[in-house]
Structure 1
């Protein structure tokens, strides 16, 4: 029973998480990136676990090695490390190399997952949902996406932090292997594609201005195109831009400048 006794309280874990969520991107440096923030958020935990100055010094030095990951999903690592430090303080045979190896081994995969889910999926979808308000001139569109994305990502970080601590060092392998993350990424990607299709149909406008004379009547070329397939030109423009980004690796700034130049020239010659 003494071995299973917790040395840390929920308040300790929550306070450590609050330090991390508030400082994870503030201590970045070319040499160690998020290392100082990692050590700072664990410092109150380590002070409570290790009463001897020598043990505390070793623990702090242990977490001064290079560390960098995505701040939200990387929280899973912190929870596991806290659990490992607690077990070590209780006498378990957990070496420095084991703790450092777990951090360095999984900060890359979790960074990839976090960037994909948080900033490549959730944020674009939320911004897309607020675009109609922006086009209507509502101030909510300027503040809404920031608030919603912040609440969602903060909740994910809080959950993963406590999940890592509860389950311990095996949790990260379980989460990565059980397939739930891949299912979530796939579902989010499908939803994102739906959103992109809806936004493209609403906000990409392209029509031809030239007219032709048929049987003595003047008819716009655009009307014939619409009879073949409504929205053909906008969807063609979207897929051309997608092709340039996906397969030709053209930079976004070059595409924006190209679209701007093409639009100006087309309007000047009367094409649009």
Structure 2
């Protein structure tokens, strides 16, 4: 009889502490928080796939894919991911792509919640309470906000990772029994693509200053014509070109970033971009 593999509270805590102590320090331009997320999963991966080195490698690879979310609320993704890895290790019909899709689908919405609640509400409230103390010259006015903020956010993170590990595990069993796992994976993929599209539209900016002088003294602004055709046409073209390159050559992020820098510099020097 095969023994059921189960993570202990200590192992969930270890994942929690590794991620919390490095989620804002390990960011890379290519994959942001993926390195620390993968590191936080290593103790669980070693236990769950102790007898299968190939599955360990696959698990490490899938947790090295792009990941970025708000650190406090984002710990809930850790809990769900640990639960899914545990079910997969025990023979459940959960693919590696399903785990990646759940992570991708949740990281954007939870980042929005975390940024709104933690950074835009909780932090300003705590700081505002101690501003008079700091203005009066009391050093506690600078120390107490940090201590209180850290204590609250760590408690939220600790609660969420354990709660989502427990609830996530039972939710996955229900999904498998009801045959809804395919719908969940599909929905997570759609949500992830929507978030990537929203981020692209918000952060990718490409414009051209080119102007065409025509006889009679009038001037045609190329950017105005492009905007009349489709607002954000140049950013969309840039994103589609990068996507096409990644489909053909793979996620060679260093090459992509280097090419973008060179094109930007040349375009600016020539007055095209």
- Report the TM-score range of the alignment, normalised by the length of the smaller protein: 0.5 to 0.7
* Equivalence for 2:120: 120
* Equivalence for 1:110: 110
Decide whether the 8 Å contact of 1:127 with 1:145 is kept in 2.
yes
TM-score (norm 2): 0.60
| 1:15 equivalenced with 2:14 (yes/no) | yes
For the residue of structure 1 that corresponds to 2:25, the secondary structure is: coil
* Equivalence for 1:260: none
Following superposition, the deviation at residue 131 of structure 1 comes to 1.3
After superposition, the Cα gap between the structure-2 partners of 1:6 and 1:56, relative to the gap in structure 1 and judged at 3 Å, is closer
After superposition, the Cα gap between the structure-2 partners of 1:37 and 1:155, relative to the gap in structure 1 and judged at 3 Å, is same
Decide whether the 8 Å contact of 2:5 with 2:90 is kept in 1.
no
For the residue of structure 2 that corresponds to 1:168, the secondary structure is: helix
Distance 2:3 2:158 in 1: 24
Greater radius of gyration (CA): 1
For the residue of structure 1 that corresponds to 2:81, the secondary structure is: helix
Decide whether the 8 Å contact of 1:3 with 1:90 is kept in 2.
no
How many residues align structurally?
171
Distance 2:110 2:169 in 1: 15
* Equivalence for 1:33: 32
After superposition, the Cα gap between the structure-2 partners of 1:3 and 1:129, relative to the gap in structure 1 and judged at 3 Å, is farther
Decide whether the 8 Å contact of 2:42 with 2:60 is kept in 1.
yes
Distance 1:10 1:106 in 2: 23
Decide whether the 8 Å contact of 1:20 with 1:38 is kept in 2.
yes
Decide whether the 8 Å contact of 2:79 with 2:163 is kept in 1.
yes
- 1:197-227 deviation digits (Å, cap 9, x = unpaired): xxxxxxxxxxxxxxxxxxxxxxxxxxxxxxx
Following superposition, the deviation at residue 4 of structure 1 comes to 9.6
Distance 1:132 1:18 in 2: 33
Following superposition, the deviation at residue 142 of structure 1 comes to 1.1
| 1:93 equivalenced with 2:93 (yes/no) | yes
Distance 2:105 2:49 in 1: 25
Which has the higher mean CA deviation after the structures are superposed, 163-172 or 100-109? 163-172
| 1:61 equivalenced with 2:66 (yes/no) | no
- 1:199-257 deviation digits (Å, cap 9, x = unpaired): xxxxxxxxxxxxxxxxxxxxxxxxxxxxxxxxxxxxxxxxxxxxxxxxxxxxxxxxxxx
* Equivalence for 2:248: none
Distance 1:149 1:130 in 2: 12
Distance 2:11 2:106 in 1: 24
Query: Aligned runs of 1:231-250 on 2, under 5 Å?
Result: none
For the residue of structure 1 that corresponds to 2:72, the secondary structure is: coil
Gaps of 5+ in 1: 173-272
Which has the higher mean CA deviation after the structures are superposed, 132-141 or 30-39? 132-141
Which aligned segments of 4 or more residues in structure 1 are displaced greater than 3 angstroms? 2-6, 169-172
TM-score (norm 1): 0.60
Decide whether the 8 Å contact of 2:130 with 2:145 is kept in 1.
yes
* Equivalence for 1:179: none
For the residue of structure 2 that corresponds to 1:57, the secondary structure is: helix
Following superposition, the deviation at residue 3 of structure 1 comes to 8.5
* Equivalence for 1:153: 153
Gaps of 5+ in 2: 173-273
Distance 1:142 1:49 in 2: 44
* Equivalence for 2:131: 131
Following superposition, the deviation at residue 135 of structure 1 comes to 2.3
* Equivalence for 1:47: 46
